[in-house]
Amino acid sequence: MNLEDLDRAEQRFAASTDLTVGIEEEFSILDRESLDLVPRYEELRAAADRDPVLREAVAGELISSEIEVISGAGANFADALAHQRERRGRMFALAAEHGVALGATGTHPWADYRCQSIIDTEHYRRVEEGLRYVAWRNNTFSLHIHAGVNGIDRAVQVCDRLRPVLPQLLAISANSPYLDGRDSGLHTARTQSFTKSFPRCGIPDHFGGWGAYREYIEFLLRTRSIVEFTQVWWSVRPHFAFGTVEVRICDAQAGAGESEALAALMVACIGQALRDIDEGVPFDAPAPRLVEENMWRAIRFGLDGKLIDLTDAEEFPARAAIERLLAWTEPVRGELGLDPVFPERNGAQRQRAMIDAGAGREEVFAASVAETARTYPQEVPV
């Protein structure tokens, strides 16, 4: 990556269309009997290459016991979701043909990261060489959303406005109470493991526009801190290759309905931020230390706890984050036809209820894997 690449990023955003959508869902690859992680990505990747739909729909994600299903660019959310449903169905069918299951929690409850292998690609060889233990330790699974934004200055400003929203999305998505074979006491151990370990990760700074953001990327390049822009792993970022804003804060979701609802809500948040920018709605960027207070609360307590209204400096029940975000995004959701519906309890709450009732980790995880098998498509759509 060089300065000319930054110029090309500007051009890509200039040609981008608002609110095209891409969906990315990461799944663990599991032995069907033991539910242990199994290193079968390369095998599934080779099989996917023989499917004309899956060939462009699956990707590796660091370790060989993980696979990502991607929708590609949809003209809108409904278009992207239709593509994602077809591709998921084919991927689940392919996994079944090869005798493995797919899991969808933010972490695997007991897998030993020391036993996992990094996939052999140039990108992940670079990640491993640059980060070592930090990369090896990151056995996590997420849900990411891309939404097109016309103009790179607007894209950076969208990221600015989403900073205080990220902990709310995280609390809603929390789905990883286990890590390293024990109950972590957290609702999203994935976030603690990944976001608090990787460099240039978590809640980004407030930049105000492309000028300051570009200056920062140029600094990283000049000081040889990065060689590609994806080494900036923030939980929301402008994606230079796609001309999108990428939101990457959420745990993977055990249920397909929850995954789709979260995806719709993230798209709505990007769309409403764009609307507010264009209409000149005032925005006071909260200090990083204040947003971090809510990040910790979301990590520790998820929807069972309380978050802080950073404007009024008052607590509110974390569950109300759903209603608050739905209310904020109502204008855009109405226009885009987005009506996400969430269950009474999220993934972490359901798992923690089983834990509190005395269930062991194997039983808790088996219930989650069964939910994934029941709610995600298991066959190729006709």
Tens digit of each residue's pLDDT (9 = 90 or more) over 157-195: 999 999 999 999 999 999 999 999 999 999 999 999 999
Tokens in use for 331? 């204008």
The H or E element that residue 24 is part of is: strand 21-31
pLDDT of residue 2 exceeding 90, the answer is no
In the DSSP assignment, the letter for residue 206 is P
Q: What is the pLDDT of residue 381?
A: 47
First and final CA of the chain: distance in angstroms? 43
198 within domain boundaries: yes
With bands split at pLDDT 50, 70 and 90, how would you rate the model's confidence at 380?
Answer: low
pLDDT in tens, 91-122: 999 999 999 999 999 999 999 999 999 998 88
Q: Is the model's pLDDT at 130 over the cut of 80? A: yes
Return the number of other C-beta atoms located less than 10 Å from residue 340's C-beta. Answer: 21
Residue 312 has what DSSP assignment? T
Residue 326 placed within a domain: yes
Span 133-143, pLDDT tens digits: 999 999 999 99
Please choose, from the candidates 321, 58, 299, 116, the residue with its C-alpha nearest in 3D space to the C-alpha of residue 194. Answer: 299
Average pLDDT, rounded, for the chain: 96
Contact 302, 372 (CB under 8 A): no
Kindly report whether the global pTM for this prediction surpasses the value 0.85: yes
Q: How many domains, in total, are found in the chain?
A: 1
> Is the CB of residue 110 less than 8 Å from the CB of residue 180?
yes
- Encode pLDDT of 40-85 as tens digits: 999 999 999 999 999 999 999 999 999 999 999 999 999 999 999 9
Cα 148 from Cα 22, distance rounded (Å): 9
- H/E stretch holding 21: strand 21-31
The domain that holds 247 is classified in CATH as 3.30.590.20
In angstroms, the Cα distances linking 303 to 298, 299, 319, 346, 349 are 7, 10, 5, 8, 8
DSSP string, 133-165: HHHHH--B-EEEEEEE-SSHHHHHHHHHHHGGG
Buried b (16+ CB within 10 A) or exposed e, 171-191: bbbbbbbbbbeeebebbbbbb
Check: CB of residue 29 under 8 Å from CB of residue 95: yes
Local confidence band at 382 (pLDDT 50, 70, 90 cut-offs): very low
The answer to whether residue 127 sits within a structural domain is yes
State the DSSP H helix or E strand holding residue 4, giving kind and residue range, or none if neither: helix 3-14
Residues 318-328 pLDDT 10s: 999 999 999 99
**Residue among 102, 98, 99, 23 nearest 65 (CA):** 102
- Angle, helices 256-278/152-162, rounded to nearest 10 degrees: 120
**Segment 204-256, tens digit of pLDDT:** 999 999 999 999 999 999 999 999 999 999 999 999 999 999 999 999 999 99
| 3-class DSSP assignment, residue 103 | strand
Q: What is the per-residue pLDDT across 17-44, written as a single tens digit (0 to 9) for each?
A: 999 999 999 999 999 999 999 999 999 9
| Domain-embedded: residue 71 | yes
**Residue 263, domain member (yes or no):** yes
Report yes or no on 382 lying in a domain: no
Distance CA 31, CA 197 (A): 28
- CB neighbours of 340 closer than 8 A, spacing ≥ 6? 260, 261, 262, 264, 265, 268, 326
Instruction: Of 292, 253, 254, 222, give the one whose Cα is nearest residue 3.
Output: 222
* Range(s) of the domain holding residue 302: 3-375
357: helix, coil or strand?
A: coil
Nearest to residue 324, comparing CAs of 342, 346, 350, 336? 342
User: CA separation (Å) from 212 to 5, 16, 239, 290, 351?
Assistant: 16, 21, 16, 22, 42
Cβ-Cβ contacts under 8 Å for 380 (sequence gap 6 or more): 86, 89, 90, 93
356 lies in some domain: yes
DSSP-assigned letters across all residues of 236-263: EEEETTTTEEEEEEEEP-SSHHHHHHHH
Cβ pair 101, 369 in contact under 8 A: yes
